[in-house]
Amino acid sequence: MPNLIVYDTGRRVTSLLTWAFTKGIMCSRSGWTVSHITIAEYLATKEIPPGTDAVATLGILRGTGMMLKEAKATGIDYYYMDHAYYNPGYGGKGWMRITKNGHACTTLKEVDGTQFKAYKNYSIQPWRTNEERGKKILVLPPTDAVGWFFGQRDWEHYAVKEILKYMPDAEIVVRHKPNEPIVDERGFLIKQDSQEDTNTPLEQQLEDCFCVVAYNSMVALQATLMGIPVITNGNSCCIRLSFAFIDLATPEKFNQEPRKRNSVIWWLAHNQWKRRMIEDGTAWNKLQENYS
C-alpha cells in the first residue's frame, strides 16, 4: 500500500487541520497508509523516511518548507494546505485550499459556475478596457517566506526592471503584505514585519491600476474577478490568465479578456474545502479526481 506522512508543527490552529486531513484519508478507504507526526521528527534527521510515497503539511514555516523542498527535489508527491481562494479561514465558515505538487492550483478542468456562485461575496465583473482602468501598475512581491521557499527574494527588483524595460514611463506602485513573515535561511520565522501600513487601501489601488503584477498574491485573483489584467507566474492560481511583461509594449493587448477567465475562476472553487469536508474524506477523494 502507498504510504503518506502528514507533518504537523504542533500549533493548535494548524494541528486541527492536519489531523483532519489524516482522518479524511483514513475515512476514504483509499488503500493508503497514513501517519501523522511532528515536523520535529523530520528536523532531527532532515530526511523524509525511505519508502514514503507522499507527504502533506500546512504552510511553509517552522521546518515544513524544508521538508517540502526535499520532497520536490526527490520526486515525492506532496499535498499542500493554505488559505483558500474564496472565503478563506482556518475555522468556522472558512475554507482551505489543498493542492498536489504545487503552492496553488494551476491545473484546469472545465466545470460550470454553480459552486463558485455559492460564494455570495464574489462575482465576475465585466472585463475593463484600457480606458476603463487606471494608469498605475500595482506590484505585489512575494513575502520574505515565500521568496525564500522559491528562491525568489529578488523578484521585486526583477519585476520592476521588466516593467520599465517595456513601459519606461510606467507609474509603479509596490505593495508589500502587512505583517509579512521574515525568515532565516532555513525558513524559520525571525519576526513579523509589523511596520505601520501606510498604503492606500487595496480596493482603491486596484481601481487606480492599469494592471496587477504579482508573484503569488491572491490579489491577482481579486483583480481577475474585477476585470483587471494580471501578469504573474507559475506559482500563481492565475497563471493561465496571465499576460506577459512584453505585452506592456503593446498595451492594446490588455483590452482583450483572457479566453479562459470564467473557467479558471469556476475551477478554483472546486479546489478548496471546509474542515469537516477535509475530515470526512471528501477533500481527499476530490483531490484524487482533480489530479487524475
- Residues in the chain predicted with pLDDT less than 50, given as ranges, are none
* Residue found under cell 493561465: 240
Residue 173, H or E segment = strand 171-174
Edge to edge, what strands does the sheet with 209-214 contain? 171-174, 136-140, 209-214, 230-231
Give the pLDDT of residue 196: 54
Give the pLDDT of residue 197: 59
The domain over range 130-266 is classified in CATH as 1.10.1060: no
Give the pLDDT of residue 96: 97
Give the pLDDT of residue 195: 60
Give the pLDDT of residue 200: 86
CA angle 214, 220, 223 (to 5 degrees): 130
Q: Is the distance from CB of 64 to CB of 243 less than 8 angstroms? A: no
Q: What pTM does this model have?
A: 0.94
What fold does the segment set 3-105+271-290 form as a domain? Rossmann fold (3.40.50)
Same fold, 3-105+271-290 and 130-266: yes
Exposed (0-12), middle (13-18) or buried (19+): which is 162, by Cβ within 10 Å?
Answer: middle
Give the pLDDT of residue 194: 63
pLDDT, tens digit (0-9, with 9 covering 90-100), for 173-215:
999 988 888 999 988 889 887 665 567 899 999 999 999 999 9
Q: What does the block give as the cell for 49?
A: 523516511
**Three-state SS at 18:** helix
Q: Compute the residue count for the chain.
A: 292
The residue ranges of every structural domain in the chain are 3-105+271-290, 130-266
